[in-house]
């Protein structure tokens, strides 16, 4: 690993590191915020998954999350959204390829060679963090848009791995919206049954763990009706009595202004799960 950025922030350090990922077969960057408490003890970790077109930079520069993580003694880790490099497959447009990994394990060429974002976030990255930083094995996960989809799916697919999960403006039913249909058909092929294991509305019906799904959704989000459709997840949760809390926020859109407004509430929510009494 090599540290490429380091800044003082709210008594802690905001850093960016790069490393070779064996899972993705390329060089990757991730951001890590170390709160003041990390100087004297091992701290729990909140993983943040960003949305389409983003890198590790969007969250750390726009969300204002460091202040709340410092208060709560929580490490923040924000990976990139996809593999990177000249030999990594890509596509025209912003919603497929680099910047659009969708946090799945691709099975279809040419994507399968690098696009294994599920395994990277669930296995390789936590192992790296817990071996090289003052982090314990208490983990939570959150994200925005495509990353909100990723947070929900990774938590539902891996019971016991995360103590809490939340999302801002998530794509909750990728098998039924244009963004998801485009990505899943490319990465996984045309068999729609295989897509269901990457869809939160499908996974929640068979969930063995009852983690509360905390979701913030702006009512003025330009993608709400066509791409996000939170009502589908609410209905799926009601069918099986799975706990969910969807907070509809009037006047808010899909931007980081929305995330910055409520990120403190989410970090406090995760901190309660990560620091049990």
Closest by Cα among 101, 112, 228, 107 to 177: 228
Q: Does the annotation count 166 as an active-site position?
A: no
**2-274 is classed in which CATH architecture?**
3-Layer(aba) Sandwich (3.40)
Mean pLDDT of the region 75-96:
97
Q: What is the DSSP string of 157-169?
A: HSTTS-S-EEEES
Is the pLDDT confidence value at 277 over 90? no
pLDDT digits (tens, 9 = 90+) for 63-80: 999 999 999 999 999 999
pLDDT for position 276: 76
Q: Write down the catalytic residue from 80, 95, 216, 221.
A: 221
Cα gap 145→52, rounded to integer Å: 7
Question: Which residues 6+ apart lie within 8 Å of 55 measured at CB?
Answer: 29, 80, 81, 99
Q: Does the annotation count 137 as an active-site position?
A: no
Q: Determine contact, residues 88/26, Cβ cutoff 8 Å.
A: yes
Is the pLDDT confidence value at 224 over 90? yes
Q: Write down the catalytic residue from 9, 142, 145, 166.
A: 145
Q: Write down the catalytic residue from 144, 254, 266, 270.
A: 254
- Written as six digits, the tokens of 19 are 């490393």
Q: Does the annotation count 145 as an active-site position?
A: yes
Question: What number of H helices and E strands is found in the chain?
Answer: 10, 9
Please state the domain extents for the chain.
2-274
């Amino acid at each position: 690993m090599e540290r490429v950025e380091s800044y003082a922030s709210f008594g802690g350090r905001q850093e960016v590191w790069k490393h070779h990922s064996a899972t993705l077969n390329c060089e990757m960057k991730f951001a890590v915020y170390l709160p003041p408490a990390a100087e004297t003890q091992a701290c729990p970790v909140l993983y943040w998954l960003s949305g389409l077109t983003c890198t590790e930079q969007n969250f750390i520069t726009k969300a204002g999350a460091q202040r709340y993580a410092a208060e709560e003694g929580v490490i923040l880790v924000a990976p990139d959204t996809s593999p990177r490099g000249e030999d990594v497959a890509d596509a025209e447009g912003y919603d497929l390829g680099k910047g659009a990994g969708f946090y799945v394990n691709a099975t279809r060429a040419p994507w399968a060679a690098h696009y294994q974002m599920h395994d990277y976030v669930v296995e390789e990255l936590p192992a790296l963090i817990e071996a090289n930083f003052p982090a314990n094995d208490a983990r939570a996960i959150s994200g925005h848009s495509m990353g909100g989809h990723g947070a929900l799916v990774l938590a539902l697919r891996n019971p016991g791995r995360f103590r809490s999960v939340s999302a801002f403006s998530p794509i909750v039913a990728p098998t039924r919206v244009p963004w998801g249909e485009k990505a899943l058909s490319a990465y996984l092929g045309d068999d729609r049954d295989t897509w269901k294991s990457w869809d939160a509305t499908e996974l929640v019906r068979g969930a063995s763990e009852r983690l509360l799904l905390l979701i913030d959704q702006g009512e003025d989000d330009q993608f709400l009706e066509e791409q996000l459709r939170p009502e589908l997840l609410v209905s799926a949760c009601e069918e099986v009595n799975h706990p969910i809390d969807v907070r509809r926020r009037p006047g808010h859109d899909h931007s980081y202004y929305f995330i910055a407004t409520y990120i403190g509430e989410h970090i406090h929510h995760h901190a309660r799960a990560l620091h049990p009494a």
